[in-house]
């Protein structure tokens, strides 16, 4: 589907929903750099209100590090899933969900750092469980970055290359937002609820698909191909939807 304007269906009551929200491009607008985002003043309270209405069954799930998300959302007290599922923040504590050899991660970072040094427009973002190479400053470097990260995935087999918006991420093998959501839906708090996943990027597609296969909803934010059955035009529309839902 590639329509940029789709009607949103009637959402399940918060008391029956398991709510999963991506961060960049969904709750906040994408910025030229990861540190350049703006957090709307009303966002933390909105998330906490919706979480309360859902009896705690709300998760912010992102490719960002969980600790990074916690710093951007200091007043949000709910579950945070970072690194596409590689780490979780629960009860104020960040814990890894993958077992990575530090020397393997260090070698990956060294190779990516050398590459970014060769192509100054490319921004290297290091994460606790991987890294991202952003080419937003020079989009015609897409093929160069994709070729390099494909090579990295072949030489560093603990990781896989995941394309994203104007970026390619090297993330640990065996993680994904769909897998994280499937785990969370097994918790007593979430069990039996209707999963609703809202996201904007290719990394959100498997999670939106998974939610739909379980009888829930996948909602795509913004333009672009998607397997989600529903769509919102932008982050402002997401906030409006969440306010009405809460």
Each domain of the chain, given as residue ranges in start order, spans 14-98+175-245, 102-172
Lowest mean pLDDT among 7-21, 27-41, 63-77, 199-213: 7-21
Whether residue 110 lies in the annotated active site: no
Instruction: Reply yes or no on whether the pLDDT at 2 is more than 80.
Output: no
Angle 109-113-117 (CA atoms, 0-180°, nearest 5)? 175
List 2, 22, 35, 103, catalytic entry: 22
Beta bridge partners of 129: none
Instruction: Reply yes or no on whether the pLDDT at 70 is more than 50.
Output: yes
Output the pLDDT for position 4: 40
CATH homologous superfamily of 14-98+175-245: HAD superfamily/HAD-like (3.40.50.1000)
Q: With beta carbons less than 8 A apart as the criterion, state whether 42 and 239 touch.
A: yes
Rounded distance, CA 81 to CA 96, Å? 10
Rounded distance, CA 57 to CA 193, Å? 9
pLDDT tens string 169-191 = 999 999 999 999 999 999 999 99
CATH homologous superfamily of 102-172: Trehalose-6-phosphate phosphatase related protein; domain 2 (3.30.70.1020)
Instruction: Reply yes or no on whether the pLDDT at 1 is more than 80.
Output: no
Instruction: Reply yes or no on whether the pLDDT at 57 is more than 60.
Output: yes
pLDDT tens string 116-138 = 999 999 999 999 999 999 999 99
């Amino acid at each position: 589907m590639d329509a940029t304007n789709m009607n949103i269906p009637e959402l399940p009551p918060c008391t029956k929903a398991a709510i999963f929200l991506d961060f960049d491009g969904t709750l906040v607008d994408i910025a030229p750099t990861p540190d350049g985002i703006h957090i709307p003043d009303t966002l933390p309270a909105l998330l906490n209100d919706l979480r309360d209405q859902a009896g705690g069954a709300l998760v912010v799930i992102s490719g960002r590090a969980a600790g990074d998300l916690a710093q951007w959302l200091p007043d949000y007290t709910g579950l945070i899933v970072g690194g596409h599922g590689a780490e979780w923040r629960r009860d104020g504590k960040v814990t890894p969900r993958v077992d990575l050899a530090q020397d393997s991660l260090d070698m990956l970072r060294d190779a990516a750092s050398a590459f970014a040094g060769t192509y100054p427009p490319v921004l290297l973002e290091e994460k606790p469980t991987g890294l991202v190479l952003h080419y937003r400053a020079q989009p015609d470097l897409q093929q160069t970055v994709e070729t390099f990260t494909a090579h990295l995935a072949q030489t560093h087999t603990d990781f896989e290359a995941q394309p994203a918006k104007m970026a390619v991420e090297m993330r640990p093998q065996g993680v994904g937002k769909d897998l994280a959501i499937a785990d969370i839906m097994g918790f007593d708090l979430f069990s039996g609820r209707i999963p609703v996943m809202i996201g904007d990027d290719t990394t959100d597609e498997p999670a939106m698909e998974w939610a739909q296969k379980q009888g829930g909803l996948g909602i795509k934010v913004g333009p672009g191909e998607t397997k989600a059955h529903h769509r919102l035009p932008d982050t402002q529309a997401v906030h409006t939807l969440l306010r009405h839902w809460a």
